[in-house]
Amino acid sequence: MKELIVLSALGILSLVAEILQFRRIILPMVIAGLMLNIGLCVYDFGNNEQVFGMLVLDRVPLAFTILFSFVAIVWLLMNRAFLTADEHTSDYLSLVMFSLVGVFLLTTYTHMTMLFLGVEILSIPVYVLVGSDRYNVKSNEAAFKYFLMGAFASGFLLLGITFVYGALGSFNVLQLISSSISQFGISQQLLVIGLLLILFAMSFKMSAAPFHFWTPDVYDGAPTPITAYMSTIVKIGAVAGFFRLFSLVIAYLNYYEIVMLIIAVLTIVLGNVIAATQSNVKRLLAYSSIGHAGFMILGIATLQPSHAMATGTIIWYYLAAYCFASLAAFWILMLVVKGKEDNDIERFNGLFKKQPVLAVVMTVALLSLAGIPPLSGFFAKYFILTNVLFKNAIIIAVIAILASLVGAYYYFRIIIAMFTATPLDTDEIAVSSTDKTLLILLAVLLFALGVAPDIIFQFVLTT
């Protein structure tokens, strides 16, 4: 409950900052608030607090909250110039904070109205943020596209929730755990279809194939800071919400396993193969984020009833590895293409000569995304594959491995450009020491998580 209050208060505080004229200090205040939020989560760990029977703050959701709060802090620091550039500081910040409330609801809900509210509170501010570059046609187009498709998905979600309510007579997901499907009699079709519709709506939010068509255009059209936000924090919300639902309805997972596996494999293959054909780094990262979403869905689809919490930790670990690497990649992309027209790979040519630190951090981030040990991306993929192999789905494991080899190919195109090609121009790339420090911190985190993944597992599973 405290976390929810803190996040909402930060949103309201950002809104009134303009009126009460403390706009200048609002960014540090928000960051301090998020740190407080992390502290509260750590304090609450293991208490399993219930909030009006609608939210349950058990371990995995709190771990997700810590993760997205941390990612949000890094994101805010990374975009401090973007956020304070014009008079819209408090608008941007309040939109971001409110969408974080949505993420929080998505990670902790047990009641399906909270699921719907979470999705909407998360999405609506992001629609606005995507279109925040008002005079740019592409940004407008992206916002419109995202809004239309998102509204459509919300429709599916509502319909699904209604169906499940029709079968269950309750909005509480926890009731599903204690009941077997046969006791619903005639209404069991309602339940199955309802959950399927929710599955589709959530797949849309996670940009899983075949519901991914909006992703590249929206990621490409949105301002890069917002793209970074969408590919990290929004993704945490969507994946956590998805995981929450399907870890609570494990009893019914058999009905969806095949659907989810198809979605997962399609997503992994499409994401990685199309990414290999991109020359625009922003679109490349968009497609690669689709591929990573596929891996996470694969992890959820092969959930073991007895290992539900361990699977939650695995997904958490994957998200952490993916988000840190993604943030670093988007951050460096922003620094490299600042003031340039396009986001082509050629912009990275010779980066090692211009800014060795950026090139090294980018290499670490890309190697982690490609899943090369000892970086955290390796164990992230490895844990998922172990889950898959426990289910004896060897073919799926082989497909996933081959797709990540394709992934290695396009990540390495960027690495090769950075280290060997001659720069396109002689423009200096200005990087502040704060940027450098934070980027190095991200690289160290990627390394530390990869070398000692046990720290996380010990914390979440045994604290």
Residues near another protein (CB under 8 A): 310, 313-314, 352, 356, 360, 363, 367, 372-374, 378-379, 382-383, 385-386, 389-390, 397-398, 401, 405, 408-409, 412, 415-416, 419-420, 452-454, 457-458
Taking the complex as a whole, the smallest distance from the CB of residue 454 to another protein amounts, in Å, to: 6
Nearer to another protein, 226 or 372 (CB): 372
Nearer to another protein, 23 or 391 (CB): 391
Nearest by Cα to 219 from 236, 208, 207? 207
**How far apart are alpha carbons 339 and 332 in whole angstroms?**
14
How far is residue 224 CA from its own chain's centroid? 15
Q: Smallest distance, Å, CB 413 to another protein?
A: 9
Considering beta carbons, is residue 213 or 390 the nearer one to another protein? Answer: 390
417: helix, strand or coil = helix
Burial of 280 (0-12, 13-18, 19+ CB in 10 A): middle
Rounded CA-CA distance 437/191 in Å is: 51
Measure the CA–CA gap between 134 and 226, rounded to whole angstroms. 13
Closest CA to 59 of 75, 73, 77, 41: 41
Nearest approach in angstroms of CB 409 to another protein is 8
Kindly tell me which of 1 and 405 has the beta carbon lying closer to another protein: 405
**Ordered alpha helix ranges (H), 356-432:** 356-370, 376-390, 394-420
The nearer residue to another protein, 45 or 382, going by C-beta atoms, is 382
Instruction: State the nearest-atom distance from the C-beta of 394 to another protein, in Å.
Output: 9
Complex with another protein: residue 53 or 356, whichever CB lies closer: 356
How far is residue 144's CA from residue 150's CA, in Å, rounded to a whole number? 10
Inter-CA distances, 381 with 242, 272, 297, 298, 376, Å:
19, 14, 12, 10, 9
Which residue's entry shows tokens 């009460």?
20
Q: Which is nearer to another protein, 1 or 416 (CB)?
A: 416
Q: Which of 10, 1, 113, 109 is nearest to 60 (CA)?
A: 109
Q: How far is the CB of 395 from another protein (least distance, A)?
A: 12
To another protein, the closest distance from the beta carbon of 316 in angstroms equals: 12
**Shortest Å distance, C-beta 356 to another protein:** 7
